[in-house]
Amino acid sequence: MVLSEFVGNEEVIYEISETMKNRLLPHAILIEGVKGSGKRSLARILAQYAVCSAEGDRPCGVCPACIKAEKGIHPDIVTADGSKAGELNIEAVRSIRSAAYIKPNEGENRVFLMHFCEKMLPAAQNAFLKVLEEPPQNVLFVLTAVSATSLLQTIRSRTRIYSLYPPSVNEAETVLKKMFPDKDASLLSEAAQNSGGNIGAAIELLNTGGEEEKKTAEAIFRAIPLSTEYALLTETFKITKDRGFAITVLERLYELSAECLKASCGAKNVSPIALELSKTLSKKRLQALFFQVQKARDVLKYNVNLNFYSTWLCSVLRRY
């Protein structure tokens, strides 16, 4: 994948492409953004850029180095994932530090892709800071995290930070069509819609069929009229397992509340579940609920803490 194929985030991508053209990429980059915003894809492109051997625009995407990078087998690209045990603890960071001083095997540069950097404990971050303070020549560090603020200020100030936002529903649809040329177009468009444009969540939906998300949204809805707040909190807490999951559940909840509202206004073409659920709340409450769910769905597009969000969601849904 080359930079021009990256969908969405035009401003950031333009800035990076200009930096690449002028060969002015810094030695440490931190990419922040929620799951599905394209952090890993961008990190891969940056790694490819650093090892590409083309004379003209880099990464070219076709030279042997680019192809190896694409396949994940380039010897000068090292990946560490903080979500996997031991890959970004203090010992691992120390070995990254020593490895950074080794000359590249094949190309001009060595690249260290470090994902889930929010999982790095302060001691590991401090160990990493040492190499950032005196960076060796010909090394590129690409860090990714949901939020840059999860890293120490001393690290942030020594990296260039790029913030990514999930693409729009239309942009996501374009990406999905490229990724899954054999899949039915209407299925892809539905997945893009139901994931609110979040590509990671859309892929998961395509893989799982979205049954669990649908069930969770229905369970949340059923718990709203119940007299105990605990029942609703138990259901809203389920969305904390994963951001992509939370986004899709909220999309489903939004659709469901819209359909219930339609049912309460006498519409005939609604699903049996919406018809059933619409009877559990008054029309006035359904109306208020619809707007509240819409707002809650939009809040999720920002980088909110899921634990706080699920509690907040419970409290706003209780009000209606």
Contact residues: Zn ion, CB under 5 A: 52, 54, 59-60, 63, 66
Nearer to Zn ion, 54 or 129 (CB): 54
Distance, in Å, from the CA atom of 110 to the CA atom of 102, rounded to the nearest integer, reads 9
Residue 66 Cβ, how far from Zn ion at the closest point, in Å?
Answer: 3
Nearer to Zn ion, 51 or 286 (CB): 51
Nearer to Zn ion, 72 or 209 (CB): 72
Distance, in Å, from the CA atom of 101 to the CA atom of 60, rounded to the nearest integer, reads 27
Q: What stretch of H or E contains 39?
A: helix 39-51
Residue 16 Cβ, how far from Zn ion at the closest point, in Å?
Answer: 16
Residue 46 Cβ, how far from Zn ion at the closest point, in Å?
Answer: 13
Q: At what angle do helices 199-208 and 211-223 cross, to 10 degrees?
A: 100
Residue 219 Cβ, how far from Zn ion at the closest point, in Å?
Answer: 50
- Number of CB atoms found within 10 A of residue 76's CB: 24
User: Which positions ≥6 away from 269 have C-beta within 8 Å?
Assistant: none
Nearer to Zn ion, 45 or 114 (CB): 45
Residue 23 Cβ, how far from Zn ion at the closest point, in Å?
Answer: 14
Sheet of 139-145: strand order equals 77-81, 110-115, 139-145, 28-32, 160-163
Instruction: Please tell me the total number of residues recorded for the chain in this structure.
Output: 320
Nearer to Zn ion, 105 or 147 (CB): 105
Distance, in Å, from the CA atom of 77 to the CA atom of 100, rounded to the nearest integer, reads 11
Distance, in Å, from the CA atom of 246 to the CA atom of 269, rounded to the nearest integer, reads 27
Residue 148 Cβ, how far from Zn ion at the closest point, in Å?
Answer: 29
Nearer to Zn ion, 26 or 64 (CB): 64
**3-class secondary structure, 157:** coil
DSSP string, 200-218: HHHHHHHHHTTHHHHHHHH
Buried b / exposed e along 52-64 (16+ C-beta atoms within 10 A): beeeeebbbbebe
Residue 74 Cβ, how far from Zn ion at the closest point, in Å?
Answer: 11
Nearer to Zn ion, 55 or 134 (CB): 55
